[in-house]
Amino acid sequence: MKYKLRILKIEQVTRDVKRFVVEKPKNFRFIPGQATYVRINKPGWKGEERPFTFTCLNEDDFLEFAIKRYPMHKGVTNELHKLIPGDELIITEPFGAIHYEGKGTFIAGGAGITPFIAILRQLKKDGKLEGNKLIFSNKTRKDIILGSEFKKMFKKNPDDLILTLDEETERKEGYFYETINEDFLKKHIKNFSQYFYICGPPKFVEAIKKDLLNLGAKKDKIVIEDL
């Protein structure tokens, strides 16, 4: 089934990421971490669709997406960033993507954080966030999606939030200035028998997965996007 939904609000989150709040169909539900295919309801774009994960909770009376713009592609994300409230999106039923299987470490690169947003928000709401860790890699502080929210979310256990920056020139307390690799993972993770959730650019995901396996992680406990 397809749903034609009006955009209610658009907010700038980072320099190249916008938050889209859209109407929610009656009785529409999804599992945190799931995605939907999105089309723009405008001539020339109705045949172009891309997968985006929901960042809201089921209890919200709206649907929400955090979408990064890739201007060099001149495709759907670039066009989405030109839209205004009142424009319409077409979405499908929820599907696949990443599901929460149990306590573990979430490792995200850039916009790869988006499938984890609804999962972590739900865990926080349910009082089940403790015992989970988030390692979030970005180029600079300005690129961090929802950085303030994650800091509040992990305020009780700040060591379970690791924000690492690999192109930042000005160093500040509370951030790590390292690339996520095997040495980094060995230094910051004690238990490699837990679940690991990885999302980001394909090369990032493959490299992290390989490093985790080398460090003793179980293949069936590494959860990646399956779009």
Containing 123, the helix (H) or strand (E) segment is: helix 114-125
Residues in contact with 172: Cβ distance below 8 Å, sequence separation at least 6, in sequence order: 141
- Any bridge partners for residue 3, and if so which? 91
Same domain, 217 and 174: yes
The residue ranking higher by pLDDT, 127 or 173, is 127
Number of domain units in the chain: 2
- pLDDT tens column, 14-23: 999 999 999 9
* Residue 207 scores a pLDDT above 60: yes
Q: Residues 59-79: what's their mean pLDDT?
A: 91
Shortest CA distance to 109 belongs to which of 35, 47, 162? 162
Containing 165, the helix (H) or strand (E) segment is: strand 161-165
* CA atoms within a 13 Å half-sphere pointing along the CA-CB vector of 25: 14
Q: What is the pTM of this model?
A: 0.94
Residue 137: helix, strand or coil by DSSP? strand
Residue 149: helix, strand or coil by DSSP? helix
- pLDDT tens column, 179-192: 999 999 999 999 99
pLDDT band of 227, cuts 50, 70, 90? low
Domain residues for 59?
Answer: 3-91
For residue 42, CA distances in Å to 19, 93, 220 come to: 20, 20, 42
Separation CA 30–CA 32 (nearest Å) = 6
Q: Residues 211-224: what's their mean pLDDT?
A: 96
Q: Is residue 78 part of a domain?
A: yes
* Residue 50 scores a pLDDT above 90: yes
CATH number, residue 66: 2.40.30.10
pLDDT band of 225, cuts 50, 70, 90? confident
Separation CA 151–CA 153 (nearest Å) = 5
Confidence (pLDDT) at 127: 97
Same domain, 27 and 127: no
Which two three-digit tokens encode residue 98?
């990443």
Same domain, 83 and 147: no
| DSSP for 175-215, written as a single string | -B-S--SHHHHHHH-S-SSSEEEEESSHHHHHHHHHHHHHT
Q: Is residue 98 part of a domain?
A: no
Same domain, 194 and 155: yes
